[in-house]
Amino acid sequence: MDFVLSMPRGATVIYPKDSAAIISVADIFPGARVLEAGAGSGALSCSLLRAIGPNGRLFSFERREDFAEIAAANVLKFFGETQSTWSLTTGDLVESLPESEAAAGVDREVLDMLAPWECIDAVASVLIPGGVLVVYVATTTQMSTVVEALREHGEFTEPVTTETLVRSWHVEGLAVRPDHRMIGHTGFLVQTRRMAPGIAAPPRRRRPAKG
């Protein structure tokens, strides 16, 4: 956590409260093959590499070369050595994915980009049936657009959207109260699973109209 908060950065980092939630809701497990786009400053890459362990593979994509250089330097500094389980590709995800190792299939996917809805077809093509896709977005407009894109695609379960809020507490003997400040909104997590070929998306649950 201390490293992430003080690390050199180009792109805004995903903070520890959100990276921890991503590891959980995406069910990142030791040995998993994970696709990450974009890499940004490498904060989430560090967390993902820890979670997949020595037998997993992390395929990170970053469109901007300057951000990719920062991410590579931060990952090297964090672990103290190069990671054989990590590949970092500089370039557009849709264009680069077919020629990458990730094209052979991945178990989990995490997207942190400005327009993730433009990549749904591409990432769906390499995600195994039952695999989890998590999309991190900062605004409600982005969140709404990506949810509708996933629904329209038709091969994902109904997306679930959450955000993580963290509030610390003041404790002095029996004087216990929540602190006046908290870590509020930083982003939304949209989570869904890839369905097997030929399986229709479950019907959406809607609230009955009043009256």
Is residue 122 in a domain? yes
pLDDT at residue 209 in the model: 62
pLDDT one-digit tens code per residue, 38-49: 898 999 999 999
pLDDT at residue 171 in the model: 97
Is residue 209 in a domain? no
pLDDT one-digit tens code per residue, 132-161: 999 999 999 999 999 999 999 999 999 999
As a dihedral over the C-alpha atoms of residue 74, residue 11, residue 94, residue 148, rounded to 10 degrees, the angle is: 130
Is residue 201 in a domain? no
pLDDT one-digit tens code per residue, 52-76: 999 999 999 999 999 999 999 999 9
Is residue 211 in a domain? no
The answer to whether the beta carbons of residues 102 and 168 sit under 8 Å apart is no
Q: Which residues of 47-84 are buried (b: 16+ CB within 10 A; e: fewer)?
A: bbbebbeeebbbbbbbbbeebbebbbebbeebeeeebe
How many domains does one find in the chain?
Answer: 1
pLDDT over 60 at 50, yes or no: yes
pLDDT over 80 at 164, yes or no: yes
Whole-number Å distance between alpha carbons of 30 and 51: 6
Is residue 111 in a domain? yes
Residue 8: pLDDT band (50, 70, 90) is low
Give the domain range for residue 62. Answer: 2-193
Is residue 11 in a domain? yes
Is residue 204 in a domain? no
Reading the block at residue 187, the tokens are 């982003």
Predicted model pTM: 0.90
pLDDT over 90 at 176, yes or no: yes
Q: Residue 33 forms beta bridges with which residues? A: 57
